[in-house]
Amino acid sequence: MHEAVLFAGALVILILVTQMGPYALAETQAGALQSIQSAYVATRAAEQLGANVTLLDQNLTAALGLVEGGAAIQSGHPALSQQDYLQADSIATKVESQAQSLGQGTSPLAGRGLLDLGIELGVLIAAAVVIYLLTPRVYWSIWTRINKETTARAP
């Protein structure tokens, strides 16, 4: 009698799990996509503040790859696809927190590095032009001074 009740309970649980499985997978996939989207928004905000977000973009691309891989194997291996979705959600959550910390760590003057680079390049170009224009004059004045001394001693 107990075995029949246990068997019936296990059968009911199995039916419920198989019926609820697609809903749980869809919810997990939607949650992962929502996390990736919010991480993307946070990453773009950090980039606008001048932060380097190259590594964060690579991580978001990997998370999207996991979601696509999970969707591809969802019908054949629902457990693996759910694991991919959870891993993508975890990556997106980490990216979002890193993007927020990068955004807080940068100042509005972060774009000033570009201005400094422009000033340095301008100074280098100006120095090159000055050297180009003055080098022949300095060279010839030194050469004539040396030649005058050597020609005066020759006779």
**9-23, 28-42, 108-122: least confident range:** 9-23
pLDDT tens digits for range 102-117 = 877 655 555 567 788 8
* Least confident span in 25-34, 60-69, 113-122: 25-34
pTM recorded for the entire structure: 0.53
pLDDT at position 25 = 52
What's the mean pLDDT when you consider all of the chain? 77
Specify burial of residue 31 (Cβ count, 10 A radius: 0-12, 13-18, 19+).
middle
- CA torsion through residues 75, 77, 82, 84, sign: negative
pLDDT at 7 over 80: no
Range from 29-38, 61-70, 125-134 that averages highest in pLDDT = 125-134
- What is the share, in percent, of the chain residues with pLDDT greater than 90? 12
Q: What mean pLDDT comes out for the span 51-68?
A: 87
pLDDT in tens, 118-132: 899 999 999 999 999
Q: How far apart are CA 13 and CA 15, in angstroms?
A: 5
Residue 21: its pLDDT value, please? 46
- Across 9-13, 21-25, 70-74, 119-123, the highest mean pLDDT is recorded for 119-123
Alpha-carbon distance values, 128 to 118, 134, 135, 139, 142 (Å): 15, 10, 10, 16, 21
User: What's the pLDDT at 4?
Assistant: 47
Residue 47 has pLDDT above 80, yes or no: yes
Domain ranges of the chain: 1-106, 109-155
